[in-house]
Amino acid sequence: MVATEDLMLLKNRLLVEASEAAMAGNVPALSALSAKAAECERLIAEAHDLDERFSPLSSYLHTPAERLALYDGPLPPSTARPRSAKRDGAEMRAQWIADMKAKGVQLQGSGKRYTTAFGATVGLAPANELDRHPNKWFLGMADEPTDVAILLCRSKSRKVCDLVLPVPALGRRWALLSRSGGQVKFNIRKDVSTFLLLVPGNEALDVTQYLSNYGPLRSKGTA
């Protein structure tokens, strides 16, 4: 099965060749390569959507009420709401904001967009560990001017690791990250205790140093 990172790498190579075709004035090649890159972008978005839709299906037989539904007996009444990626994300963000307040970090805003006490813009992107890809997370946040990108990566054990990335520290890699549907995408992989940000067409960036790195949220210019 084609992995999302493979599609990202292919898209980046197509864009590089499209740029070379544009410099050479080869219009037919530029048009063909651009179309293929756009198709890759569509497949990346579809893969992300499929991962989110697969999660509730994979947990179907692990939910007691749903297991009982396979039999003829009546089901006990239940008020529990089914889990969803959107609900999980909202809970992760709310809990993280509350934890930051307890640590003395005040953030103003709502949803996925906040500002610090000194005016820095903060984007929040939560995600659960991918079901079929252990130690991997695929996250997205609004592709808007952002000073700090915070990636909330929750494992299957429910532990949340927060990567607090100062956008200027990412340099040109920020522009190389995949974008789709008005969002910038982050592909995170954990190798043992090392967190890697996969950047299309480039070596993976070790972002372990940004784990629970709250300095950029406390004062301006802190990495």
**Confidence label for 11 from pLDDT (cuts 50, 70 and 90):** confident
pLDDT at site 31: 85
How many Å separate Cα 138 from the centre of its chain?
4
Distance CA 162, CA 153 (A): 6
Provide the 10 A C-beta neighbour count for residue 62.
Answer: 8
pLDDT tens for each residue of 134-189:
999 999 999 999 999 999 999 999 999 999 999 999 999 999 999 999 999 999 99
For the whole model, what pTM was predicted?
0.64
Which among 140, 153, 222 has a CA at the least distance from the CA of 194?
A: 153
Distance CA 174, CA 184 (A): 9
pLDDT tens for each residue of 65-81:
444 444 445 545 545 45
Distance CA 142, CA 20 (A): 30
pLDDT at site 137: 97
Distance CA 124, CA 112 (A): 5
